[in-house]
Structure 1
Amino acid sequence: MKHLLTMENLTNDEVFQLIDRALEIKAGAPSLHRPDLFIANLFFENSTRTKLSFEIAEKHLGLKVVDFEVSTSSVNKGESLYDTCKTLEMIGTSILVIRHPEQTYYQQLEGLMIPIINGGDGSGEHPSQSLLDLMTIQEHFGRIEGLNIIIVGDIKNSRVARSNYHMLTRLGAQVRFVCPDLYKDVTLGEVVQFDDVVDEVDVCMLLRVQHERHDGSQIFDKDSYHLQYGLTSERYHRLKETAVVMHPAPVNRGVEIADELVEQEKSLIFPQMKNGMFMRQAILEKIIQENDL
């Protein structure tokens, strides 16, 4: 695994190796310590969980984190993404973690000689989020195959939905979507009505509406959306006793999920966030080892 760009890069065996390793690290297993390596996090879109959990994972591995801020970089003078990344490579950075609004931005970086970890590309993919979601599901249920999963929200603009749909389906889960017609992605799977399936699912995965990727022509009524497509208290209580609620966050409370449900018993939203650091540490270890850094 030279890079981690899409979930398609990974075999099923590699996915489960990463899950197993992340769970070992979570249980207290020793990890690599490489204070000789420099890493840079290039986030061209806002981020809290992904950026900071990568940074903490990097520090657990002893990596030296290069201070890179888009707002004060030469990107604002017109420098290309490739030239920015090549500069970091030339001055000794060993790994780049990149989030960028352009879908498949990494295709323009083929001239780099150092590994890239995709922290999210537009509405394309978000492999590290998908892996931590898989880890959370595997940790809770002990399996992925055979689970009944719905992904609810802005499917069209969600890189999380895309990554998770492809990998969960490949690993044997049944994945369906709940969303308004406006947010439907016709290239993905079956769309169902929330109230028709809520009492039979094992995992209810919620997504926020990504207003920043909309053209602003549609009026959004959050109360109406919550009643039709949100996890209301009534829908929560219809979930099976063994079902869980997930969300990659940030959470818009009172829109995709009722405020009081975020930390209810069935919610794994905050445990997901915690697992993100362990999974990203496992990803970094694998990148270091398989690139002989």
Structure 2
Amino acid sequence: MATLAQWIEGARPRTLPAAISPILIGSGAAYQTGHIVWGYVVLAALVALALQVGVNYANDYSDGVRGTDEVRVGPIRLVGQRLAAPTSVKTAAFAAFAVAGVLGITLIVLSGLWVMLPIGALAILAAWYYTGGRRPYGYLGLGEVFVFVFFGLVATLGTMATMTTLTAAGWWGAIGVGSVTSAILVANNLRDIPTDSVTGKRTLAVRLGDKRTRALYVALVAVACVMTALAALTSVYALLALLAAPLIARPIRDVAGGATGRDLIPTLAGTGVFELAWAALLAVGLALGYHF
């Protein structure tokens, strides 16, 4: 039976910056318009965290029962390493989805943003079918699309829309954070190309191959820099986000330099730290645009 520490590690806490970052940007963009509801910000953050944990447990369960996690380089897998019963991990995933659903409905009712009801339902379905179901789209190379749409556009703009109308700054931030979150998945799948190729998991990295996957990672990070420049057209203080650039220097160097296997694990953590710092600084920069 898995220990509490193993359950926590199985939830993959290092991925949580990807959940919080879009909420920060959406909130900063809302603040820029002069409309911020801190209670909604907290609710949106809790929804994002619960959904991220649910995705992680669902991925652990689905990959584990398929046998694609038998040999791993990265963090532990509860099912794949037989640390927990598959049914227990599946239950944990659906419990997290339920929490996200309840909190999401609460936010929708309070804000009156009813359009988010079907979108939220689609987000939960997409989270499960990433590796679950008969034809998981994560095995078809579409995982990055899901991440960009739901952990980029939907999370950022959905947060903002609960408080105010959408702005160009919100869109630029959403595209930027979606790109960096996708870069995290690209780095993860780059690391797993050898094992995924053997088990039939046709991720985008497997389809593109090693060299083009590395180029894609760098390009996605570059998109965030371009979006920062565009956001600065609405508030020059958005350029504060560029202060996070040194944090991504080593991850880019490792990816471009040909790091493989365990040597890419720091890249995942480093990209996550960069994303959180970049998002926080961008949010502050956008918020300052309201005052100056």
Structure with the higher strand share, 1 or 2? 1
TM-score (norm 2): 0.29
Structure with the higher helix share, 1 or 2? 2
TM-score (norm 1): 0.29
Structure showing greater relative contact order (alpha-carbon pairs closer than 8 Å, 6 or more residues apart): 2
